Structure 1
Amino acid sequence: MEVGKDCPKLRNIDAFPAEVSGQRVICLRDPLNLSGKMLFVSVSTFFLISLLDGRHSIQDIQA
């Protein structure tokens, strides 16, 4: 297997905890501010996003 071929990697993003409507979430922000927007995701979704680091294969993430 080629290194990185089946190991997806997101570019750098800022992530920090927040609370929205009483729910604990993670706020994702583009440090380059290309979109000018923030995205709020659940803690479990952020865990999956954190696996998109170029070291975990798609099969690892699906497991």
Structure 2
Amino acid sequence: MTIKVVRGNPTPEELAAALAVVRAHAAAAATEPPGAATGPRDSWSDPARLAARRVPQPGPTTWARTYWPS
């Protein structure tokens, strides 16, 4: 693994701390089995939330009904 500082001038202690965080994260990711659940899913990211109501069928007046509640 190669780490390159592209901006700034970190002290050796700051660089060591950053590398420790990166290595700890990589070690934790390596111990998880593939496809493991990462925790409860947030309802904001649920795709069913976006399609909770019917969308208008395509047609000449669809643009006018797009944002009006049915």
Give me the TM-score of the superposition, normalised by structure 1.
Answer: 0.30
Q: Which has the higher contact order (CA 8 A, sep 6+)?
A: 1
| Larger strand proportion of the pair | 1
| Larger helix proportion of the pair | 2
Give me the TM-score of the superposition, normalised by structure 2.
Answer: 0.27
